[in-house]
A and B are shown apart, each in its own frame.
Chain A
Amino acid sequence: MSTDNNRLYESMGDKVLRYVTLLMAILVVILMIWIGWQMFSSSQESIQHFGWAFITSRVWDPVHHIFGALPFIYGTIVTSVVALIIAAPIGISVAIFLNEMAPSTIRKVVAFLVELLAAIPSVVYGLWGIFVLAPVLRQSVEPWLTKWFGFIPWFKGAPVGFDMFGGGIILAIMILPTITSISREVMAAVPTAHREAALALGATKWEMIRLSVLSYSKSGILGSIMLGLGRALGETMAVTMVIGNMPKISSSLFSSAYSMAAVIANEFTEATYSLYLSSCIEIGLILFGITLLLNIFARLLVWSVARGPKGGHLV
């Protein structure tokens, strides 16, 4: 009898653990839906009040209860694109260097350093941006660019250092590890046989990389760039600290601007009336929507190459 009771207790225990884990798993999905719903429902007031004009209006004036998100959307997109232009080629190069070229000791050290880059908190990047990067940009880099490339509207204007260019550079440093690590993941998934096939045909190392590795993993690499972009769009502190926080739209990268995450960070707790708060949250909703779509698309790309939606094999 006692073994029967024991067995009953055990099978109860089995069920409890099973259903607790199931519940937690479902909770993750609910959490995601709930985040979206919270953002959506809390922005209703602003959505009702401004409609689509919220996205196209350039005015952000809490005193007169007028809110438009365009300058923030613009600042976010420009800084992120600058970051991508810098970080994508470098990040992919690092991935190639690590996976295809470096001897194992160097690979370990450099891979660790790149991961370290990802481990540094964004507020420290911001601090460094304020006191080191911005002065350097203002005093030497930006004047030099204006002198030689000033005919391009992007590089016109008086250098301030706290601008979209600085924001883009900080973001580039921060998203590089994302691009590198995910590119490495997809490149590592290229079967060795592909590489050997190219080498056996007499390809040089670069030709092997181009023909076997890059062509095989290009959609996954694109996914890694998109994930980097997603990270850049949502990055808050470092950008807040170097972008200058001025809601204006200028063609010059050397102009102060504002980003979506930055305006939320600065004004969310200071929003004194409900329309103001709702407008802050609607900016969050836009940010959430963009990063969500970007992530879904990017993950599908990466999954199709490296991981696959399956849980892996049994044995």
Chain B
Amino acid sequence: MGQSLSIRQLEAWYGTNQTLKGINMEIAANQVTAIIGPSGCGKSTFVRCINRMHETLPGSKVKGEIILNGESIYGQDPVSLRKTVGMVFQKPNPFPSMTIFENVVAGVKLNGMRNRQNLQTIAEKSLRMAALWDEVKDRLNYSGMSLSGGQQQRLCIARALAVEPSVLLMDEPASALDPIATMRIEELVGQLKSEYTIVIVTHNMQQAARIADTTAFFLNGELVEHGPTSEIFTNPRDKRTEDYITGRFG
């Protein structure tokens, strides 16, 4: 099941550049939350803070609090946290040295599970959830790189699901894909929300409108507005949100 997140006074820096300025936000469990905003507004940094990936960059700094299911993530070991909070990246990044099967189970296997039977069960389950099983079940031993871009991205989703996270972060997961592959990812997001809390960064407002339950608009490192998607797109409260969604800037 998905878990809820609450973000309090989150600030982040990259070098001397402050990329997030005091974000307060509640993210409900088992919903799709879209993060929109122009390039450089901090939306990527925001999701990378949720699984503490931002800290891995040299020169980065974070302040504030993120509560996951009642517990602060900054009190936890970051490596363990990332098993609870999965992530899918902008460009598909399967491990080049591994087969499709090995890619899917990489997370569980490298975290210590060795039982072949279990791994096979997990692989099939994850690939089915990522709607990839039927396409690859006969070639699980091929390299992950042999798949098309859209398939690779679903493979990466399956790989993230295999470690059984409760939150799934997606950083513009379809921006490197063609329209048909994009559609399949969007369908998949709709199916996955019954099991996971999904936070998806997108620069594509139609995409947010299609798939998200709530939408948050970021600008210059600040959260301008967060509310039900239909409200954000039809009746924004803030002038800046309106300017952005009507295409006046960004």
Contact = CB atoms under 8 A, between A and B. Distances in A.
A10 B82 CA distance: 14
Interface in A226-277: none
Q: Is the interface of B mostly helix, strand, loop or mixed?
A: loop
Interface in A55-84: none
Interface in A8-27: 10-11
Contacts of A6: 111-112
Interface of B: 58, 77, 79-80, 111-112
Interface residues of A, number: 6
Contacts of A11: 77, 79
A7 B111 CA distance: 9
11 contacts: A3-B80, A6-B111, A6-B112, A7-B77, A7-B79, A7-B80, A10-B79, A10-B111, A11-B77, A11-B79, A314-B58
Interface of A: 3, 6-7, 10-11, 314
Q: Is the interface of A mostly helix, strand, loop or mixed?
A: helix
B188 to A, nearest CB: 27
Nearest to B111: A6
A3 B79 CA distance: 12
Nearest to B80: A7
Cβ-closest 6 pairs across A and B = A6-B112, A7-B80, A7-B77, A10-B79, A7-B79, A11-B77
B18 to A, nearest CB: 21
A38 to B, nearest CB: 37
A3 B112 CA distance: 9
Contacts of B80: 3, 7
Contacts of A10: 79, 111
A63 B80 CA distance: 73
A10 B79 CA distance: 10
A11 B58 CA distance: 20
A84 B111 CA distance: 57
Contacts of A3: 80
A249 B58 CA distance: 59
A314 B79 CA distance: 21
A315 to B, nearest CB: 11
